Amino acid sequence: MKSGYISIVGRPNVGKSTLLNRFLGQKISITSRKPQTTRHNILGIKTTNDAQMIFVDTPGMHKDNKRAMNQYMNRAANQTLYDVDLILFVVEGTRWTDEDDAVVQKLSNSSVPVIIVVNKSDCVAEKTELFEHLSFLSKKLPVKEIIPVSAKTGKYVDTLETLVEGFLPESEMIYPEDQITDRSSRFLASEIVREKLMRNLGQELPYALTVEIEQFKEEGGILDIAATIWVERKGQKSIIIGKKGEGLKRIGQQARIDMEKLYDQKVFLQLWVKVKEGWSDDARALRSLGYTDE
């Protein structure tokens, strides 16, 4: 039996959470087209007959470090570069940015073996362009392997999984074989609501909000969940609620459907929107809302 930890790192919006969900065959990490959707390190545990792979999905490493929220996300991702058995450095097709270079710089200080995962490779029309990019990547960092995949379609993800197994140490299982994440049901509920907000709102607003679960209890076979959406300004509250409450109603309906799939039971979901000015740049407020470094 082999068991070990695998950190999934990269700049924002390269498909790290989609890759984790593909490994597990179910949705644990929320996704959206907007960068910095992932804010916490999230464990996804895959147990096979021969191995237990403990994947750590991380927030995208980015240069903006001015606000307390950005500092927290960068800290969370950086913590996973050392106490793991393998690092999957995810990049996006043939696109390369300054933030990719910044990730390379951090990885060069780690002694953990690295596999470069070229995600969205199916979107590269010219294969010669892809081969040239793979050669470019091989010179960026001393890595064990470079593999093109598509997390969205699953192409070559099974090949990547076989590679990952080869780097794990011989060990008994670390988690029970039926466990798929270290996160609580309450946490997953808050993330589902935040995903629907990220997908339904404009570019800036999602970064000024967070979700806190106030109630999570089962009564008569129905899961009763109450969540508060915290924003930073009154105007943001109005945007989320929408005309005649239609915006909040739509978000609630979408979140409830996903929750019922996840928990496999009926869900009664209530949402409120409240204002907590400057919460995302206040370290104390962040800790009170669950953004801790544990």
Residue 172 lies in a domain: no
Q: What angle do CA 36, 40, 42 make, to 5 degrees?
A: 115
- Asked whether the predicted pLDDT for residue 189 surpasses 70, the reply is yes
Helices (H), 180-290: 185-200, 234-241, 246-263, 283-288
pLDDT of amino acid 230: 96
pLDDT of amino acid 89: 97
User: Do 157 and 106 fall within a single domain?
Assistant: yes
Mean pLDDT value across the chain:
93
User: Do 145 and 245 fall within a single domain?
Assistant: no
Query: Which of 72, 78, 25, 74 is CA-nearest to residue 53?
Result: 25
User: Do 33 and 162 fall within a single domain?
Assistant: yes
- Judge whether 80 and 42 are in contact, CB under 8 Å: no
User: Do 116 and 228 fall within a single domain?
Assistant: no
Residue 177 lies in a domain: no
Please tell me the distance from the alpha carbon of residue 213 to that of residue 97, in angstroms, as a whole number.
Answer: 36
The domain tally of the chain equals 2
Residue 218 lies in a domain: yes
User: Do 160 and 190 fall within a single domain?
Assistant: no
Residue 284 lies in a domain: yes
Long-range CB pairs of 208-215 (<8 Å, 24+ gap) are 208/232, 208/233, 208/236, 208/280, 209/236, 209/240, 210/279, 210/280, 210/289, 212/289, 212/290, 213/186, 213/187, 213/189, 215/270
Residue 178 lies in a domain: no
User: Do 100 and 154 fall within a single domain?
Assistant: yes
- Asked whether the predicted pLDDT for residue 293 surpasses 90, the reply is no
Mean pLDDT of 203-223: 91
- Asked whether the predicted pLDDT for residue 65 surpasses 80, the reply is no
pLDDT of amino acid 238: 94
- Asked whether the predicted pLDDT for residue 190 surpasses 80, the reply is yes
> Of 137, 166, 195, which one is at a domain's C-terminal end?
166
Residue scoring higher pLDDT (247 or 62): 247
User: Do 148 and 15 fall within a single domain?
Assistant: yes
> Of 139, 166, 193, which one is at a domain's C-terminal end?
166
pTM assigned to the model: 0.93
Q: pLDDT tens digit string along 70-102?
A: 899 999 999 899 889 999 999 999 999 999 999
User: Do 50 and 132 fall within a single domain?
Assistant: yes
Residue scoring higher pLDDT (5 or 128): 5
User: Do 217 and 140 fall within a single domain?
Assistant: no
Q: Which CATH number fits the domain that encloses residue 16?
A: 3.40.50.300
34: confidence class by pLDDT, cuts 50, 70, 90:
confident
pLDDT of amino acid 206: 79
Q: 213: domain range?
A: 185-288
pLDDT over 90, % of the chain:
80
Please tell me the distance from the alpha carbon of residue 272 to that of residue 40, in angstroms, as a whole number.
Answer: 23
User: Do 226 and 95 fall within a single domain?
Assistant: no
Query: Which of 58, 7, 21 is CA-nearest to residue 37?
Result: 58
pLDDT of amino acid 203: 78
- Could you tell me the two tokens for 268? 């009664």
> Of 134, 166, 198, which one is at a domain's C-terminal end?
166
pLDDT of amino acid 125: 80
What amino acid is encoded at 245 in this protein?
G
Please tell me the distance from the alpha carbon of residue 108 to that of residue 176, in angstroms, as a whole number.
Answer: 34
User: Do 22 and 154 fall within a single domain?
Assistant: yes
Residue 179 lies in a domain: no
Query: Which of 273, 285, 185, 211 is CA-nearest to residue 236?
Result: 273
Q: Cβ atoms within 10 A of the Cβ of 93, count?
A: 19
Residue 257 lies in a domain: yes
- Could you tell me the two tokens for 248? 């909040």
Residue 294 lies in a domain: no
User: Do 145 and 46 fall within a single domain?
Assistant: yes
Query: Which of 111, 119, 103 is CA-nearest to residue 58?
Result: 103
Mean pLDDT of 26-34: 90
Q: Calculate the CA dihedral of residues 86, 92, 98, 102 and round it to 10 degrees.
A: -10
Q: Which CATH number fits the domain that encloses residue 206?
A: 3.30.300.20
